[in-house]
Structure 1
Amino acid sequence: MTESNRSAPPWPQQDVPTQTAILQVRQLEYRWPGQSAPCLVIDDFAVMPGETVFLYGPSGSGKSTLLSLLAGVFLPQRGEVLLGGQDWARLRGARRDRYRADMLGYIFQQFNLLPYLSVQDNVLLPCRFSTSRAQAAIAQHGSLPAASGHWLAAMGLPRSSWQRPARALSVGQQQRVAAARALIGAPPVIIADEPTSALDENRRDAFMDLLLAACREAGSTLVFVSHDQRLADRFSRQVSLPAINHAAIEHIDAAEDEPA
């Protein structure tokens, strides 16, 4: 493997200039269908390539909703959400899905593994949907099985577990599989939605050590959502969602004005 293969990102260099934000939110408003008031109003929020961002706020403050907007799953009623300079609203249907598969690795709170597939096959799933990530994985590791094995080992999964069905693993092991799946092919951005909420303190700390080291190795930007502020110091930047979300502030102020 050459140094150029190791360092080459899986997206065209000109599409994501290093001096600009990899994720950008501008003048965003989002409201749930049937609701008159927006639940998110964010003037500006940017994440630079290589950052590790800890996004925090209380339960119900809109953290998961914002992640869905950053990932192009939801579209705002006003404003822009850009990934790699591309506005999600300008992509339609299958093109949006392909772009998401190419650019994002997502770690879900409830893992979202396919229980009947082997651990290794779960990790390989993104490469079935993204040609660029499959090509990057092969360039970096020689083959797709080698790539999946690399990230499983990086996340502390023993080789003896790789061919077991995902449902046979412990909660902590399943979360590590989900992280390996997000990392394969070195996508530019990893989004993690409360991935440690089901882990005890020891497993949480071990998972965080492995995840942050793996993101550094992959060169992936990390946006990590949690209400557990004990994790905040591990990240290069901490962002309070209530501090940037004007809708949340207005809602909290209104709630405080209501009689008990």
Structure 2
Amino acid sequence: MSAAAVLRAEGLRFAWPGATAPCIDIDLLEIEAGEAVFLHGPSGCGKSTLLSLLAGVLVADAGRVTLLGEDWAALSGAARDRRRVAHVGYIFQQFNLLPYLSLLDNVLLPCRFSARRRAQAQRDGAPARAQAQALLERMGLPAALWQRQALQLSVGQQQRVAAARALIGHPEVVIADEPTSALDEDRREAFLDVLVEACAVNRSTLVFVSHDQRIAARFGRHLLLPEINRAGAGEPA
């Protein structure tokens, strides 16, 4: 194992219940600390499934997936949840905001559930709320919106709140699943400026899935999933 590997998958196999064949079949994938990885491939090739396996949302049927050297499969469901919120910022395709919480409270959620993320958000001596506000500002969401319920936002605004939530507390890994799909060109570029810069400054590993090849140049490493995944198109991806 590479000493610098933050995420590692070895002999990884996964099939959805009822499927006759795996949708993920990867011999070896290592992602190092501070890397910015652009993961792409056609719809149905398993990109979102792979992200869920790397983050311990799903557990492999065979092989090992480790985060910072610890195998997700060795942990209980509750322990995986605790480890994920402590070390991984995840921008889900469907955002997974709590609709009746305010923007600010949604961004602060990782700090409520992880003492590590809370301490990291406060590492410059300011309260975690100050970092949440700064992230929302950098995402182009003004203070007038911060107490608004998440359900009152546009899709593009929700996407940016989800990104701020992923970045708070400087997690070692940020996983982004199609995070620019609802943004216009100007918002997309501004969003990427914040996301890529924040990960670089904090030495956070960034794994970014997108179909948009126009943004690939921002990333130091490109992975075409069908080139490393020996499984054909499977179930939901």
| Native 8 Å contact 1:140 1:147 kept in 2 | no
Most deviating of 58-67 and 34-43: 34-43
Change (3 A) 1:203 1:147: closer
CA distance in 2, matches of 1:167, 1:69: 28
Alignment of 1:71-220 (within 5 A): 71-220=55-204
Counterpart in 2 of 1:46? 30
Counterpart in 1 of 2:16? 32
SS of the equivalent of 2:164 reads: helix
Instruction: Name the larger-Rg structure.
Output: 1
SS of the equivalent of 1:179 reads: helix
Q: CA shift at 1:169, angstroms?
A: 2.7
CA distance in 2, matches of 1:139, 1:219: 15
Bigger relative CO (Cα 8 Å, ≥ 6 apart): 2
Q: CA shift at 1:144, angstroms?
A: 1.8
Q: Find 1:235's aligned residue among 219, 222, 233.
A: 219
Contiguous gaps of at least 5 residues in structure 2: none
CA distance in 1, matches of 2:109, 2:2: 28
TM-score with structure 2 length normalisation?
0.93
CA distance in 2, matches of 1:219, 1:173: 26
Is 1:66 aligned to residue 50 of structure 2? yes
Residue by residue over 1:151-200, the C-alpha shift from the partner in whole angstroms, topping out at 9 and shown as x without a partner, is: 22232322222122222333322211111100111010000001112223
Residue by residue over 1:109-166, the C-alpha shift from the partner in whole angstroms, topping out at 9 and shown as x without a partner, is: 2222122211100100111111111111122352121121122223232222212222
TM-score with structure 1 length normalisation?
0.85
Change (3 A) 1:218 1:152: farther
SS of the equivalent of 1:54 reads: strand
Aligned residues: CA RMSD: 1.8
Q: CA shift at 1:61, angstroms?
A: 0.5
CA distance in 1, matches of 2:124, 2:72: 29
Most deviating of 65-74 and 209-218: 209-218
SS of the equivalent of 1:22 reads: strand
Residue by residue over 1:56-99, the C-alpha shift from the partner in whole angstroms, topping out at 9 and shown as x without a partner, is: 00011100000110011111111110111111011112211111
Change (3 A) 1:218 1:45: same
CA distance in 1, matches of 2:158, 2:114: 22
CA distance in 1, matches of 2:23, 2:113: 32
| Native 8 Å contact 1:28 1:76 kept in 2 | yes
Contiguous gaps of at least 5 residues in structure 1: 1-16, 253-260
Most deviating of 209-218 and 104-113: 209-218
Q: Percent identity?
A: 60
The 4+ residue runs of structure 1 with deviation greater than 3 A are: none
CA distance in 1, matches of 2:35, 2:168: 19
Q: CA shift at 1:233, angstroms?
A: 0.8
How many residues of Structure 1 are paired with residues of Structure 2 in the alignment? 234
Q: CA shift at 1:18, angstroms?
A: 9.4
CA distance in 2, matches of 1:114, 1:93: 21
Aligned-partner residue type, residue 241 of structure 1: L
| Native 8 Å contact 1:53 1:236 kept in 2 | yes
Counterpart in 2 of 1:9? none
SS of the equivalent of 2:231 reads: helix
